[in-house]
Chains A and B, each alone.
Chain A
Amino acid sequence: LAKTTQPISMDSYEGQEVNITCSHNNIATNDYITWYQQFPSQGPRFIIQGYKTKVTNEVASLFIPADRKSSTLSLPRVSLSDTAVYYCLVGDYFTMNNNAGNMLTFGGGTRLMVKP
């Protein structure tokens, strides 16, 4: 599974657009890029998933350049309730010896703090 690198933390203010960039230089040809949001003591919540170019849903947009070695999660007009940890994940299928299946590998994520 491809390793991801993202900023440890970011600060923003209410009403601003927040862009969190994730690097995944070793992404495999068939891997999708997925972002999750997690609040303290809650389970990760799926935000958005994409393969290439741009994906938009009611919560966020995901920008993926042609080389797919990075991706940017864009949160429009954040509010205090967007304060959370955001995880970027790449792929989930793995094989190792006689072990094969689907596993999400979470790194440290990006701690987003939205201030009033």
Chain B
Amino acid sequence: DSGVTQTPKHLITATGQRVTLRCSPRSGDLSVYWYQQSLDQGLQFLIQYYNGEERAKGNILERFSAQQFPDLHSELNLSSLELGDSALYFCASSPRTRGQGSKNIQYFGAGTRLSVL
């Protein structure tokens, strides 16, 4: 058990809908990351939050948004869902954000499997 909790484990919805994925980081971790894993794209970084503020963006669509709350849990909001958004969504956390040359180990949750029908 990594200590990172993601809910729900599975989500089935229809095209055009909006869903919210939730992540609770490991106790004490200030950084939260979201990744998407689909069969054709592999694991891709979406976005990073640190202590409530957006830190870095990756390949995140404009239809997707995220936030980190004062208690450090994070939510990933996916709207206007398309069939291609079906994927596993992982949250990871690390103690803090770090610059180059530092040991920043990210610990991953079990993921949320999103199926868009």
Using CB atoms and an 8 Å cutoff, list the residues of chain A in contact with chain B.
Answer: 28-32, 34, 36, 41-46, 49, 87, 91-94, 99-108
Contact = CB atoms under 8 A, between A and B. Distances in A.
Given A102-B97, A103-B58, A106-B42, A41 B111 contact: yes
B21 interface: no
A1 to B, nearest CB: 10
B15 interface: no
Interface string B64-106: 0000000000000000000000001010101001111111111
25 contacts: A30-B102, A43-B92, A43-B110, A43-B111, A44-B43, A44-B90, A45-B108, A46-B106, A91-B100, A92-B104, A93-B100, A94-B56, A99-B57, A100-B55, A100-B56, A101-B48, A101-B50, A102-B48, A102-B98, A103-B45, A104-B35, A104-B106, A105-B45, A106-B43, A106-B44
Contacts of A87: 43
B2 interface: yes
A35 B72 CA distance: 26
Interface residues of B, number: 35
B37 to A, nearest CB: 8
B107 A102 contact: no
Given A31-B101, A32-B103, A42 B55 contact: no
By CB atoms of chain B within 10 A, which of A32, A44, A45, A94 has the most? A44
B10 to A, nearest CB: 10
B109 interface: yes
B108 A49 contact: no
Contact of B56 (A42, A49, A103, A107): A103
Given A42-B111, A43-B111, A49-B103, 12 more contacts: A41-B113, A46-B2, A46-B107, A46-B108, A93-B98, A94-B56, A101-B55, A101-B56, A101-B97, A102-B94, A103-B48, A104-B33
